[in-house]
Structures are given as structure tokens and as C-alpha cells.
């Protein structure tokens, strides 16, 4: 049996190893990995995979991961078709650069590539993909930029669920990769003002480059301090006063892109009345809230996950047309042997946004 190189999660650590080569089954292709971004969920999986599996099962997901086995992560990828498996249409020829939503169809239903011990992820020289899900990379878009389709689609979906209007004022709390993706999706829709808050000066600078109208350092000023300026009543008392005087108002949409315990309660206490809170940050610990405050303020919460195929395709189109500045996101490129060190680097938030793995290097 032939083999290939891959970075595997073995216990709570990453190592470079030889794994069985990628072999396509019916309706599948085998592809060479050209680029694959490192996601925050990958970082979490290295040290907390067993907890993640438990959460998935409690959520009703299929049992697709055996934590005792080697796991190859990586779901934000661009690849090149090498060969077609049996029963494929061969619509896209060998050599075509492609992206895909990271799903495969196994015996227990859909499985997430990179979070399955049946379908290995893209931190490997080659991977198996479902032909029916492949999208060709348009306009000579570089693989590293095309690999951003997946994380940017998360922001596209979050903003789609928020359904902002021209009257909406948006606050993005946390300017990591997902918060920045939300800002991109908001500005592409012409929404403004967009307020962005993050403790990191580097991330605030990137948010501004991507179109945020106001950037706030929460250590210096409250991210909630601008609402009244933009005709959003900041408190119940202010809302009552404005209603009495007939003052016109705008609506508030708040994107929670941090995902740490205490953040939801902080927002419940501080966002304006009737605000719509979109929870994108994936807190994986128990948390506590006081619901009656949210009731008094008539807040609305939407918890969002992933994206739809049309949203994924739209982001790829926008990248291919140059409507999104991919260079702002791409802050590092590493070979397979450098992946463990890159994970360590990303565990301490700094200037990095997206580090891309290039297994061919």
C-alpha cells in the first residue's frame, strides 16, 4: 500500500507521519492539496478533541471521530484534481483547481472532512473529495486565496441570518478571522456604520482596512458607547424618552465572535433594547446567563453554524472577481513540517489572521 505525508493529531499533540494514500471511492476524486488554512476549531481539537466529540454527540451529530485513532485535520482547502474514482462524471478534468464545502457522504451520513477518522483532512499531501460538491477556482485565483472561501463563508452566513437593512447599525465583537469575515460581508452589503471591537491593535487595524467605520479598544472604551450617536437608543430609559418625543430610530445588530464564557451575559446587559445578537463565537464551556434582562430588553439571539452551498459559491465568486482583499487575511504560509509550530504560534493571539499550510512545499 502506498503512503503519503500528513500532519496527524495523535493524543494531544501533532506530528508529521506517513499515512495510507488517498484512494477515491464511487463518486469521488483524489486531489493534491495546494493550500489549507488553520482554523480555530483545529486548534481546539488538538487538546480537546474528546470534549468536542462529546459535544457533537449531545448535539445529535453522527459519531464520525474515534479520538483514539490518528486524525488528520484541515477543512479550509484548495486542491488540484489528480484522478477520478469509479462512477464519476469527470466534468472537471484532471489538473483543475477546486474548492469544496468540506463534507463527504459516509455510511452514517454526511461527515465533516478533517473532523472524521474516515475522511482525512487537508493537512496532507492528498485528500479524497466528493465530485458533486466541487467548484472550479475562477479567474486564476491563487490557491491560498481560494482556501479562504470556507472561513469567509461563515461570515457570509452570519450576516445572512442577521438580515440587516440600510437602517441597521452593526457591532462586531472580536476581530479574529471570523469577526473580520463578518465585517467583509457587512460592507459588501453596504451596511454602516460598522463598529469593530478587539483588544489587539493589529486586529483593529485589519478591521479598519476591511471597512470598519469605528474601531474600539475595549480596554479603553466601551464598544457599546456609540449607539445613541447613530440613533439607536442605548437603554430602556432612552428608548422610552425617544418614543415619547417621536424621534426616529435605527436597529442594532451585534455579532459575538469571541466565544468565551461570560460574553453572552455581558451582551445581554449592555446591548441596546430589541437588539439582534448573532452568536458566531463557539464557546465550548458551560456558561450562565440571566434571561430576565434579555426578556426586559426584548433581545433576539441567533446561534449560527457554517453556511449554505449558495453562500459558499458566492464567496468564491467574490474572491475570484477581486471584490474581497484576500491579502489582508493571509499572514503566514508553512510546510507540513512547520504545522505544529504554527499551531503553537496561533494559540497566542497576535498579528496573525490566517496561516495557510502548503503540503507540497
pLDDT tens digits, 109-164 = 789 999 998 999 999 999 999 999 999 999 999 999 999 999 999 999 999 999 99
- 108, pLDDT greater than 80: no
Residues 6+ apart with CB under 8 A from 138: 316, 317, 320, 321
- Residue pair 284/44 in contact by the 8 Å Cβ criterion: yes
Query: Residue 41 burial by CB count (10 A; 0-12/13-18/19+): exposed, middle or buried?
Result: middle
- 41, pLDDT greater than 80: yes
Rounded Cα distance between 243 and 260, Å, is 35
Rounded Cα distance between 194 and 58, Å, is 36
Average pLDDT, the chain: 95
Q: E-strand spans in 10-108?
A: 14-20, 28-37, 76-84, 97-100, 103-106
| 138-165 burial code (b ≥16 CB/10 A, e <16) | eeebbbbbbbbbbbbbbbbbbbbebebe
Helix (H/G/I), strand (E/B), else coil: 349: coil
**Inter-CA distances, 173 with 28, 140, 207, 323, 340, Å:** 40, 34, 11, 24, 29
Q: What are phi and psi of 104, to 5 degrees?
A: -135, 160
Residue with the three cell numbers 482596512: 209
Rounded Cα distance between 199 and 218, Å, is 6
Rounded Cα distance between 22 and 2, Å, is 9
- For 301, the grid coordinates are 439571539
Helix, strand, coil percent content, the chain, rounded in steps of 5: 30, 25, 45
Residues 6+ apart with CB under 8 A from 221: none
pLDDT tens digits, 291-341 = 999 999 999 999 999 999 999 999 999 999 999 999 999 999 999 999 999
Tell me how many helices (H) and strands (E) the chain has.
10, 17
Rounded Cα distance between 198 and 202, Å, is 9
Helix (H/G/I), strand (E/B), else coil: 178: helix
Count CB-CB contacts under 10 A for residue 109.
Answer: 10
- For 137, the grid coordinates are 477556482
Tell how far CA 169 is from the center of its chain. Answer: 22
Residue with the three cell numbers 458566492: 314
Flag whether the pTM goes above 0.85.
yes
Helix (H/G/I), strand (E/B), else coil: 328: helix
- For 203, the grid coordinates are 486586529
Nearest to 113 by CA among 179, 44, 55, 36: 36
CA angle 236, 239, 243 (to 5 degrees): 140
- For 268, the grid coordinates are 445581554
Question: How much is the pLDDT for 105?
Answer: 86
- 175, pLDDT greater than 80: yes
Question: How much is the pLDDT for 62?
Answer: 81
Helix (H/G/I), strand (E/B), else coil: 149: helix
Helix (H/G/I), strand (E/B), else coil: 31: strand
Rounded Cα distance between 326 and 159, Å, is 19
Point out the least confidently predicted range of 97-111, 156-170, 217-231, 319-333: 97-111
Query: Given pLDDT bands bounded at 50, 70 and 90, which one contains residue 261?
Result: very high
What distance, in Å, lies between the first and last C-alpha atoms of the chain? 23
Amino acid at each position: 500500500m502506498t503512503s503519503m505525508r500528513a500532519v496527524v493529531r495523535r493524543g494531544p499533540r501533532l506530528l508529521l507521519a506517513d499515512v495510507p494514500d488517498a484512494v477515491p471511492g464511487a463518486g469521488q476524486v483524489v486531489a493534491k492539496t495546494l493550500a489549507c488554512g488553520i482554523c480555530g476549531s483545529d486548534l481546539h481539537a488538538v487538546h480537546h478533541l474528546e470534549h468536542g466529540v462529546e459535544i457533537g454527540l449531545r448535539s445529535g451529530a453522527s459519531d464520525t471521530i474515534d479520538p483514539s485513532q490518528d486524525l488528520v485535520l484541515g477543512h479550509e482547502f484548495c486542491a488540484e484534481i489528480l484522478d477520478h474514482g469509479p462512477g464519476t462524471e469527470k466534468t472537471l478534468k484532471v489538473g483543475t483547481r477546486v474548492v469544496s464545502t468540506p463534507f463527504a457522504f459516509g455510511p452514517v451520513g454526511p461527515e465533516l472532512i478533517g473532523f472524521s477518522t474516515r475522511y482525512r483532512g487537508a493537512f496532507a499531501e492528498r485528500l479524497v473529495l466528493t465530485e458533486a460538491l466541487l467548484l472550479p477556482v475562477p479567474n486564476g485565483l491563487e490557491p491560498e486565496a481560494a482556501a479562504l472561501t470556507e472561513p469567509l463563508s461563515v461570515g457570509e452566513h452570519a450576516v445572512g441570518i442577521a438580515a440587516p437593512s440600510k437602517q441597521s447599525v452593526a457591532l462586531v465583537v472580536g476581530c479574529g478571522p471570523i469577526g473580520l469575515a463578518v465585517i467583509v460581508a457587512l460592507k459588501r452589503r453596504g451596511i454602516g456604520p460598522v463598529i469593530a471591537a478587539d483588544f489587539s491593535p493589529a486586529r483593529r487595524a485589519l478591521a479598519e482596512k476591511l471597512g470598519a467605520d469605528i474601531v474600539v479598544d475595549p480596554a479603553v472604551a466601551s464598544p457599546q458607547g456609540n449607539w445613541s450617536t447613530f440613533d439607536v437608543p442605548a437603554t430602556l430609559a432612552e428608548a422610552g424618552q425617544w418614543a415619547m418625543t417621536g424621534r426616529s430610530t435605527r436597529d442594532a445588530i451585534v455579532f459575538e465572535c469571541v466565544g468565551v464564557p461570560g460574553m453572552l451575559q455581558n451582551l445581554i446587559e449592555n446591548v441596546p433594547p430589541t437588539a439582534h445578537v448573532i452568536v458566531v463565537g463557539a464557546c465550548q464551556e458551560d456558561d450562565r446567563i440571566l434571561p430576565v434582562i434579555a426578556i426586559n430588553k426584548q433581545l433576539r439571539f441567533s446561534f449560527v453554524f457554517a453556511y449554505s452551498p449558495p453562500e459558499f459559491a458566492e464567496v468564491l465568486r467574490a474572491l475570484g472577481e477581486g471584490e474581497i482583499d484576500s491579502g489582508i487575511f493571509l499572514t503566514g504560509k508553512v510546510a507540513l513540517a512547520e504545522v505544529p509550530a504554527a499551531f503553537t504560534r496561533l494559540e497566542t493571539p497576535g498579528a496573525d489572521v490566517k496561516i495557510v499550510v502548503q503540503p507540497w512545499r
